[in-house]
Structure 1
Amino acid sequence: MIRVLLADDEHLIRGAIATLLGLEPDIEVVAQVARGDLVAQAVRDHRPDVIVLDIEMPGMDGLTVAETLPGHAVLMLSSFGRPGYLRRALAAGVRGFIPKDASADELATAIRKVSSGGRYLDPEMAASAMMAGESPLTERERDALALASRGASVGEIAVSLHLTEGTVRNYLSSAITKLGASNRITAIHAAQEKGWL
């Protein structure tokens, strides 16, 4: 049996996926959590073969969770097909990435493939990621823009990143320029749309 941990904050979706996977003769859902920050403990408690993560969750997003689980078989299940998400997931060692609108059969196939050490990528998502290219943002520009997207002021960003306010303004200005945006808000939207934040 392939032991699966499901992490998704949408109770109805999580329950439906668990029910559908329960119909598979070789797959057993051993745990379900609704928050990203609960995944690590559930992994320790239940020792799943495959961890299925949603991207958008409270506590900790799925991509950040995946980065904390090196060596584990992780499959991202997301309604967001943003190219940057796929690239970030692959960089974190995620073995599979499929959309939430995939069929139950496709999800079961992906779980089997990931469990056996293979990779499973949705073809449309993979093609979009290849066409979009790499993020032009440096890590610091991305960090500053991410904090700004949460409403942090320049001063708050400076404190959080241990930088001067002038340096933060430079990073934000550079990010705005690289994204071809007219201001911080449009830069944030552009980066989010590509999955770079």
Structure 2
Amino acid sequence: MIRVLIADDEPMVRAGVRAVLATDPGLTVVAEAGDGAEAVELVRRHRPDVAVLDVRMPRVGGIEALASLPDTGVVMLTTFGEDDYILQALAGGAAGFLVKSGAPEELIAGVRAVAGGAAYLSPKVAARVVAHLAATGAGSAAGRRAAARERVAALTARERDVLAHVAAGLSNGQIARRLHVVEGTVKAHVSSILARLGVDNRAAAAVMAHEAGVTPPAAPVRSEP
């Protein structure tokens, strides 16, 4: 059972998130908070596997709370127009980024991915982060894409394959099963990928993969019983 904490200053949003998570029998909400300070306190008390935090909340927002939750997988909830906050959360180590207006399935997928040690960027968030980086970072959008492609091209074929799975939000265990290797091998590949791309975490690697145009792997086809 994956234990989840929800933090949002709007009770209706918390209720909506709880209702979505309740549709998955493998998830359970252990606590709710109205701001980041309360979220930090409740995380220490309940030890959830994943904390779902609103980016902006009174007193202490999700970005500020993130620094006090180094041992908890964090999924950030954002609305349109908060690109700067997304980048701050990415730099702070958040592993999941979801748009509040996204599909309920994305919330469940994001929580499960982060609980499994993976990163998860909803397609809308990934596109916005890449666009924002292109607009505010050094060089043109084409230049950033070229630089990302150059770094990704320097990876081995197997590392590029693993990166595609990382960008799709898969955990090390899931990647290992897809590629028919042991999980330790995938972990070693991920460490090498982060070092060679010059990024600190899986979410940042996923952003670079999107910038480089890395195509997410197709889901395996299940045979009929």
TM-score of the two chains, using structure 2 as the length reference: 0.57
Residue 90 (structure 2) aligns with: 90
Distance in structure 2 (CA, Å) of the matches to 1:106 and 1:27:
14
Where 2:128 maps in the other structure, the secondary structure is: helix
Alignment of 1:112-131 (within 5 A): 112-131=112-131
Where 1:51 maps in the other structure, the secondary structure is: strand
- Shift in Å, 1:132: 2.1
Distance in structure 2 (CA, Å) of the matches to 1:89 and 1:26:
27
Q: Which moved more, 1:77-86 or 1:108-117?
A: 77-86
CA contact (8 A) 1:3 1:30 kept: yes
Residue 110 (structure 2) aligns with: 110
**What are the Cα deviations for residues 95-140 of structure 1, in whole angstroms up to 9, with x where unaligned?**
000100112211011100010000001222222222223579xxxx
- Shift in Å, 1:71: 2.8
Where 1:105 maps in the other structure, the secondary structure is: helix
- RMSD over aligned Cα atoms: 1.6
TM-score of the two chains, using structure 1 as the length reference: 0.65
Residue 42 (structure 1) aligns with: 42
Distance in structure 1 (CA, Å) of the matches to 2:132 and 2:100:
21
Residue 52 (structure 1) aligns with: 52
Distance in structure 2 (CA, Å) of the matches to 1:39 and 1:135:
32
CA contact (8 A) 2:56 2:62 kept: yes
Change (3 A) 1:80 1:60: farther
Where 1:108 maps in the other structure, the secondary structure is: helix
The amino acid of 1:38's aligned partner reads E
Distance in structure 1 (CA, Å) of the matches to 2:81 and 2:118:
21
The amino acid of 2:128's aligned partner reads S
CA contact (8 A) 1:81 1:125 kept: no
Alignment of 1:1-197 (within 5 A): 1-133=1-133, 134=136
Q: Which runs of 5+ in 1 are unaligned?
A: 137-197
Where 1:42 maps in the other structure, the secondary structure is: helix
**What are the Cα deviations for residues 3-53 of structure 1, in whole angstroms up to 9, with x where unaligned?**
000000110110121122112110000000111111111001111000000
Where 2:48 maps in the other structure, the secondary structure is: coil
- Shift in Å, 1:73: 0.2
The amino acid of 2:20's aligned partner reads L
Q: Which moved more, 1:88-97 or 1:117-126?
A: 117-126
Distance in structure 2 (CA, Å) of the matches to 1:60 and 1:90:
18
Distance in structure 1 (CA, Å) of the matches to 2:14 and 2:75:
14
- Shift in Å, 1:66: 1.0
Where 2:51 maps in the other structure, the secondary structure is: strand
Question: Which of structures 1 and 2 has the bigger CA Rg?
Answer: 1
CA contact (8 A) 2:9 2:34 kept: yes
Change (3 A) 1:135 1:120: same
Q: Which runs of 4+ in 1 moved over 4 A?
A: none
CA contact (8 A) 1:81 1:99 kept: no
